[in-house]
Structure 1
Amino acid sequence: MPTWKEITSQNPEHSKNYAARWDRLEAQGNDIVGEARLIDAMAPRGAKILDAGCGQGRIGGYLQQRGHDVTGVDLDPLLIQQAKQRYPEATWIVGDLAEDTNVEGSFSLGVCAGNVLTFLAPEQRRPALAHLYQLMDSPSRLVVGFGGGRGYSFPAFFEDAQAEGFTVQQRFSSWDLQPFDQHSDFLVAVLSK
Structure 2
Amino acid sequence: MPDHDVVRRSYDTVADDYTARLHDELAGKPLDRALLASLLEQTEPGAPIADLGCGPGHVAAWLAERGASTVGIDLSPAMVETGRSRFPKVEFRQGDLLELPGADREFGSLVALYSIIHLAPGELPHAFAEAARVLRPTGLALFAFHVGEETRHLDEWWGHEVDLDFRFLQPARIAGLLEEAGFTVEMSMERAHYAGEVDTRRAYLLARRGGS
Q: How high is the TM-score relative to the length of structure 2?
A: 0.72
Paired residues in the alignment total 180
Q: For residues 2-151 of structure 1, what are the structure 2 equivalents within 5 Å?
A: 5-7=5-7, 9=9, 13-23=13-23, 30-31=28-29, 34=33, 36-43=36-43, 46-98=46-98, 100-104=99-103, 105-113=105-113, 115-149=114-148, 150-151=167-168
Aligned residue type for 1:156: R
Q: How high is the TM-score relative to the length of structure 1?
A: 0.79
Unaligned runs of 5+ in 2: 149-166, 193-199
Q: 1:172 to 1:41 in 2, by over 3 A?
A: farther
Deviations 1:137-175 (A, max 9, x none): 112111111111333222221121111111111112249
Query: Are 1:49 and 1:109, in contact at CA under 8 Å, matched by a contact in 2?
Result: yes
Unaligned runs of 5+ in 1: 176-183
Range 32-41 or range 68-77, more displaced: 32-41
Q: Secondary structure at the match of 1:46?
A: coil
Aligned residue type for 2:182: G
Aligned to 2:204: 188
Q: 1:110 to 1:11 in 2, by over 3 A?
A: closer
Deviations 1:52-106 (A, max 9, x none): 11111111111112211111111111111111112223221000011x2221252
CA RMSD of aligned residues (A): 2.9
Q: Secondary structure at the match of 2:174?
A: helix
Return the match for 1:155 from 161, 169, 172. Answer: 172
Cα offset, 1:5, TM superposition:
4.6
